[in-house]
Each structure stands twice: as C-alpha cells, then as structure tokens.
Structure 1
Amino acid sequence: MHLIRVLPLFLICSLVWSQQLVINELDPDSPSTDTAEFIELKSESANFSTDGFILVFFNGSSSGGDSSYLVIDLNGYTTDNNGLLVVGASEVFPYPQVLVADNIIQNGADAVGIYQAQVDDFPEGTLATTTNLIDALVYGTNDAVDADLLALMGETNQYNDNGTNSNPRSIQRFVDGSNNETYNAATPTPRRENDGSGIEINPLSITVNNTQYTEGETFDITITAETNVTSDVIFNLDLSNFGFNSSDFTGNTSLTIPNGGNTVSTTITLVNDSDDEGDEVLRIRFVDVIEPIVPGNNNVEIRVIDDDFTVAPWGTPVNPTFNQVQSTQPSGYYDSLDALADAALRQALQDIIANPNEVRAQTYADVIDILKEADQNPENSNQVWLVYSEEGRPKLDLQTGSNNTGKWNREHTYPRSRGGFDDIEEDEIADGIDVFWTTEADSLRHGNSDAHALRAADAAENSSRGNQHYGQYVGPTGTLGSFRGDVARSVLYMEIRYNGLEVVNGFPDTIGQLGDLATLLDWHRNDPPDDYEMNRNNIVYQWQRNRNPFIDQPLLVEYIWGNNVGDTWFQSLSVEDYIESKIRVYPVPTKGKVYISGLSSDTDIKVYSSDGKLVKQLKDFTQPLELNLAQGLYILKLRKGNSVVTRKLIIQ
C-alpha cells in the first residue's frame, strides 16, 4: 500500500518539474519609471545551471505580429540557493543576477518563453512557436486577450499584471499542496519565494550622500544590511569603470559588517591629478558577497568631475571666431568644379562628396563617438555643444534610456521621416573608424548615420522639434539662432550627397523633401561658417572621407540654389567674395546692446553718426557691446588690418 501511495506522488512531482525551469514571477510594467521590471525563473534544484536556455519575448501588438523582439542568453548563469534567477532592470530590489536595460520588457498583450535553444534561433521578428519551448507565460496589463498569441505559445490563459504606482503588482506562480499550479497578481517578491518559504536572504544596500564629486574631494560609502548579520560578513567593493580605476582614488574597499551589526562605512578620496581625462563615472559594486547575503542594489554610479578640461582657441557658435581653423581638404579637392554651372556643377559636386572609391559610411552608433569629438564645446573639452539650445552639456549625459531630462542625443537635421531613411540592426554596433561601409549617391540608407547632418542636441528639444521643417521650427525662444547657418548647410549638403533628397520652398509632405528653402538660404547668408563649423567639418572628414562643401566654399550655395544659379563657378570666388558676409550685427534695431559675429580680438570698431561724426571707438571689447548711444541711425566701421567692413545700426 505504501508503494501505491508514493508512486503517484512521485509521478505528479515529476510532471511539475519536467520543464527543469519555469517562469516563477513576471513584472512587465513597474508604473511611472519602468526601472524595476523583471522576470524570475525557478529551477527544481538549487544552484541549477541555465546553460543552453534562452528567454524570448514576443510582441503581441498589431505592429509586432506576435513575433520576437528580445532574446536573452542564459548561458553562464545559475539559480540561487532557492532555485531562483532574476532577470531585471536597474532598480529591482534585491539586485537581479542578470541585468537588462530599463523599460525593455513590453507591457502586453505579450508573451515570454523559456526555450532550450540558441540565441541565433530567434532573430528579431521570429513568429512565436512551441518548438523547443520549456515554459511560457502570456500576459497583459489590462489588455484584451490575444487569442492568436495564446495559440502560438500553446497556452490557454492570459494573466494580468494590473499594478499601479501606489500598489505595484507582479504575476506570480503558486503551487499548492496538491501540486496545482496557479498564477495570481500580488506584491512583487523578486529573489524570494512567492509563498514566503525558502532560505531567507539578507540584502546589502549601498548609499552615498551625493552622486557627483570633483577630483580631490572625499565621500563616504555606507553599506547596510536589511537585518542584523549572525556572523561577520566580509566582502569587497569594486569602484572601477572604463577609465576610472584604482589609481584614481584612495580608501579601503575590503569591508566587514561585524556579527550582530548591520552596517559599515568607508571613506574614499578622489585623486586630483593634472591629467585631462575628462569627466568619469565610478561604479560601486559588490564583488564577492555570498548567499544568504546578496546585493540589495549594485552598480551605484558617482560622477567624478575633472577640472583639467581644455579650452579651444576658437569660439562657440554664439561667440564665433573666424580663420583660426583651416580646412583640411586635400589639395585640388574642388578643382573639378571650375568652369561648370547648373546641373553639371551639381553632378560634379556629388561626384566628390559621394565618390564610392573614397567616401565611407559609419554606423549610427559610431556617430556618438564622432559627435563627442566634432561637437565638443570649445570652452570645455568635457562637454558637447548643443545645437538649437546653444549651450554645453557633459558628454556623460548622453541619453541611454527613456528619461531625456538634462540629456543629449543625436539630432537629424534632415529628419529621418522626411528623408525616408532609417537604421538597420548593424547600425547599433560602434565598430570604430576603421570599419565602414562603402557608399555612393544612391545609398540613401546611409543618410541615417551621416555625421555632416547629425548634431548633438538637448534630448527634450530634439523631441520638441520632431520632424518640423525649418521655418516652422526656428529654435527655442530666447536663443541667438547661432545654429541656423549650420543646419542650413547640413541639409543642403544632404540634397547633393544623396539621390532622392530635395530641399524645397514651403512645407511639403512628400517623402524625400524638406523645407523651407527660402528660410534656409536666408539662414546660410546671415550665419556664415565659423571656426567651430570648420573644425567640425575637418573631424567628420577623418571618419567619412568627405566634406561639407558649403562650409569650405560657402558661395557655392548661391550657384546651386541662390542668386548665381546659371553662372559659371570658379573657385577663386569662394573665399574672398565671402569675407564681408561673415560679419553679422544683431539684434537690429537695438536698444543699445549688440553682438557682432565674425570678429577677432584685434578688430578695431568705430561708430559714426549718420552725419559722419566719430562718436565711439572700441578696442579690447567684450561681447555684447554696450554702446550707450542716443536713438538714431549709426554706421559701424570694423577694421582688421587692411580689411574694412561697414554695417548700419539703428538704436531705438
């Protein structure tokens, strides 16, 4: 009789664990921040190797087509003493054994499956399947039931997360005394058994007072256990991260929480060296804690400000300089344009900047590295200069998640949706300057990563601009518009560089067209190329082996779109005839305060009344110029060496 009773129980248990690995808990939507999403797996035995398993996430939306959007390789991981393995985002507590990006798990109706397969078996867009499926969960966050996805995954129930900010929920697996399996929504319990059983863990939390310090300063790291420890807990911290290493700080990182206690602190001093390393981020993480002690949080980041930044000899776009940065164009680069006009001139120019034997295309990920150099703030080498908002922003503040506040990202001056180009999977790989695609005039897709038309921009302002045409979009209120000539030349470059693009008058809805041409010509004429833009052109040329000709030869714009269309181009006209237009006085009219772009420090400024009397002379000036003159019409005479430029000025 005993054998008859034991055998059925053994069979039931075997059936429950025939999968080896099951989905034990899922929180696909941590409301508000989406930084605490996770999936928890459970194995029948503790410390189970997940080699050979993968997690595949499927998009059940109409656009997703019940196909895969994310695959996570579980090779190299093991479940813990309770048989649990948490795959989660940065704010999951206790900290996940497998870290994934924030906000990467979609809300639903979607599905996730454990497969005994290889990552390559599920390229992005693979239709959901039961082939090699170990366990699956179809879920939603108050979504309609996706019957097709249920069928594809071999499931009959779609479970609802139904969490809120004040009442977070996760979908949890429960098994009763009769081995009946159910899923319910309850308060999340990552890395703890859903029913409260199992070996109790004791998470350690890292705290610091601030998230930013300057070289030479000290700060304390405090480690606190959730409950008092029952024996000495000895562990090490690691602060290294990319360029930041043990040479950049002093302080003890081998720590002990004494028996009966729950906390320990250490003081770290940041080394103040003379190297221009740029701002860095140290990352505090546990190296060797042993269960039941586990990390509560981890990879806590602190920004280390380097005060050894460099300042370039040229100005920012709002305080421009000219003729200090020389073009690095090869000798004879534009010679083939001479004596040409109209379509022949256009074609010859395209033959230069889209030459498949010379020009290279980099990935969209490479553009980040290009912009960090090309858009470097002349006043602080640790920052990028932001187009539109006209300010510096730390290079470290690149947007990497959904939060765009205070971040910068890559702005397409020729919007992707207007141009009809987009990225591909290979664009996500930053493979460096020496790995590239060959490209030609018909390679429109490469417009997505063409650095001549990509700029560092405030992420929120980039979102506000959207895909508006220029003229519709004129920049943020209160800025000087120093970007206008720059973006004009970048989008005009795109028309010549890629077949299928055109800058036109008005605000068209046709794919491939961008407006407004009249506005952009005006911007080009009133904001000529400066040293910042020339330096940028030189750097992009190093990567792409082509240049923006409208920076090197700004008068070319008139011969292709402007006042000289139909005239024969000769290179000798390009620089000398354009010198005078580099001087811009604004605002006009003014109440007495003006800016003058295109000046160098040795320019002599004289102000004459309308009847020719000298009323003011300025040397060693600073911008803006405070003229303190009565209302009326005045003439500014600007002299540098033998060159003299005059401008009218109206004071209200």
Structure 2
Amino acid sequence: MKKIYLLSLATVATMPTALMAEIPEGYYDNLKGLSGGDLKTAIYNTIKNPDTPGYGPGANKTWWAFYETDQLPDGTYLNRYSDLKFEVGERGSRPKKDIKGTTNSKGDYIEMNIEHSFPKSWWGGTEGSIYNDLFNLYPSDNSTNSAKSNLVMDRVASVSTDDGYTKIGRGTNVSENVWEPIDTYKGDFSRGYMYMISAWQNYKWVKVGLQFLDNNLYPTFKQWAADLYSEWCRLDEPDQIEIDRNEAVYRIQGNRNPYIDFPNLF
C-alpha cells in the first residue's frame, strides 16, 4: 500500500515544529517510535475526548471561544471563506451583519454563522463533543456557509462559482460538486481534516463523507484525498495565526492538533 501521510515520531524532538508552538512537556511522549496505524491510534488516545464548550452564542459557548481563537488585531473575525469582514462586538455574541452591511438577493443582511469544516452529516448528524469541537469550527458568512453545504474538499476542475476565497464546482477526484479553499487556507483545512479523522476515529463515516473517507482506522482517507491534502499541507505550512489558534483551542478544550504542532506529520 502506498504510504499515506503519517510519519514515524521516533525522533519527535528533532522534527521541525511550528513557529512559536508551546507544546506541553511530555504531551506527545506516547507517539515516539510509532508509525502508520499504530501512530494514528496513539494520536487518537492523546487528543480524544476534548472538553469542548457549548454550541452557539452566550457565555462559555462557541462564539465566546471564537473571541479568543479567531479575533484579529483590528477587532474583526477571521473569515476564511470570503472577503466579508465582521466586527467582533460583545463577547459571546454573533455578528448580525458585516462591516459594509452587505445584503443578499432577498435584501437580508449577510450574517456570521458557525461553519463545520467537516460537516456533521459525514458522521451521521449526532451532536455533543464532536459537533462542538473548536478544531472543526470557524466563523463564516452565512452566504458561503450555505453554498459550501456538505460538499467534499477537492481541487475544483470546472468552476461554477468563485468569490476569490471559495470555489465550488465539479471536482478533480469527485465527480460531483466540491469546494476548494483559497491557497492561504488549504493547509489549515487539510490539517483540520487530519485532526478530525484522528480525534474522532471511533466514529463511522457515512453519506457524502464516503466520497473521500473509508471506515477503517488507518489510513481512513482515500488515496486521492491523502495525496491532495498532504500536498496542500506542504504548500501551506502553519503560519502564526494558525499556531496561535492551536494554543487558544488547547487552553479552552484541553487538546491540540498535532498536525499543526508537527507540520511534517503526514
């Protein structure tokens, strides 16, 4: 079988790490000397069962957490899906319109939503910790959130729509509509997908998710997905914003994304 993405961590201490990562001493000790399926299961045992916040607006919920994880220095939220900018406002609140007051075809303001990069339909729609996991949640404008829907992430071969951030159209590897992020965030989303199949490898993948996932402990990604996401991780290595977000999520829910801490871990 072709090697997928997991390298050995026998020399974890010498692997290149993120720019300013503050990895707690001993956090990854149980991964040393492992590779392949054994390594992925050890990662699962290290990062599983996060203490996720509640979902939605309000104290100690998603928007409360986004205040720490996704606020930019100018007081707006980082929107990875389009160029629309939204002021953060009161902590725990959800922005009801962007800075320019953009409206949709119905004349309604475009608002911010909580976007599941890895849609809940791919694991059957159950809620709880997997649904609330901050490593899979990002602030997004509701217009792009709706357009992206539960589509698989792939390289778009035939573009239907492109707002300069998110492309939608027929896929290169999937014969149906897919979505493709802007180059700046290709690695971010790929590392997020790697996290999800590791932290939640005890779940069964269903429906559209089976276009790029298999129900096995390793490698889980279909070969095309492993190759593409690995390529995107190499082309878009973690920047300081992604590293700082990893630290912020760790402070909130007590687990880390190892694919951010160790960018060569694929």
Give the counterpart letter for 1:528 in structure 2.
Answer: E
Q: Distance in 2 between matches of 1:483 and 1:492?
A: 14
Pick one of 470, 489, 504 that aligns with 2:153.
470
Pick one of 195, 213, 218 that aligns with 1:493.
195
Q: Say whether the 8 Å CA contact 2:205–2:214 is kept in structure 1.
A: no
Residue aligning to 2:253: 544
Q: Say whether the 8 Å CA contact 2:96–2:109 is kept in structure 1.
A: no
3-state DSSP class of the match of 1:471? coil
Q: Distance in 2 between matches of 1:514 and 1:446?
A: 22
Q: What root-mean-square deviation, in Å, do the aligned CA atoms of Structure 1 and Structure 2 show?
A: 3.3
Q: Distance in 2 between matches of 1:371 and 1:335?
A: 30
Map 1:168-567 to 2 at 5 A: 323=19, 326-354=20-48, 359-365=50-56, 366-378=61-73, 380=74, 382-390=75-83, 392-396=85-89, 398=94, 405-423=109-127, 445-471=128-154, 476-479=162-165, 480-498=182-200, 499-500=202-203, 507=211, 516-557=225-266
Q: Percent identity?
A: 28
Q: 1:476 deviation in Å?
A: 3.8
Greater share of helix residues, 1 or 2?
A: 2
Q: Which runs of 5+ in 1 are unaligned?
A: 1-321, 424-444, 558-652
Q: Distance in 1 between matches of 2:41 and 2:249?
A: 22
Q: Say whether the 8 Å CA contact 2:30–2:42 is kept in structure 1.
A: yes
Deviations 1:293-352 (A, max 9, x none): xxxxxxxxxxxxxxxxxxxxxxxxxxxxx83xx223211211211111122211111111
Q: Which runs of 5+ in 2 are unaligned?
A: 1-17, 98-105, 166-181
Q: Distance in 1 between matches of 2:209 and 2:146?
A: 24
Q: Distance in 2 between matches of 1:506 and 1:404?
A: 35
Q: 1:404 deviation in Å?
A: 6.6
Q: Say whether the 8 Å CA contact 1:404–1:459 is kept in structure 2.
A: no
Residue aligning to 1:3: none
Q: 1:521 deviation in Å?
A: 2.1
Deviations 1:352-382 (A, max 9, x none): 101x5xx41221121111112211124x1x2
Name segments (4+ residues, structure 1) moved above 4 Å. 399-404, 472-475, 501-506, 508-515
Deviations 1:263-286 (A, max 9, x none): xxxxxxxxxxxxxxxxxxxxxxxx
Q: 1:489 deviation in Å?
A: 0.6
Q: 1:494 to 1:508 in 2, by over 3 A?
A: closer
Q: Say whether the 8 Å CA contact 2:82–2:163 is kept in structure 1.
A: no
Q: Say whether the 8 Å CA contact 2:152–2:209 is kept in structure 1.
A: no
Q: 1:339 to 1:403 in 2, by over 3 A?
A: farther
Q: 1:472 deviation in Å?
A: 6.1
Q: Distance in 1 between matches of 2:210 and 2:122?
A: 14
Greater relative contact order (CA < 8 Å, ≥ 6 in sequence): 2
3-state DSSP class of the match of 2:164? coil
TM-score, normalisation: structure 1: 0.29
3-state DSSP class of the match of 2:78? strand
Is the radius of gyration larger for structure 1 or structure 2?
Answer: 1
Q: 1:555 to 1:505 in 2, by over 3 A?
A: farther
Q: Distance in 2 between matches of 1:543 and 1:523?
A: 27
Q: Say whether the 8 Å CA contact 2:122–2:209 is kept in structure 1.
A: no
Greater share of strand residues, 1 or 2?
A: 1
Q: Distance in 1 between matches of 2:213 and 2:108?
A: 28
TM-score, normalisation: structure 2: 0.68
Q: Distance in 1 between matches of 2:76 and 2:196?
A: 27
The count of aligned residue pairs is 208
Q: 1:505 deviation in Å?
A: 10
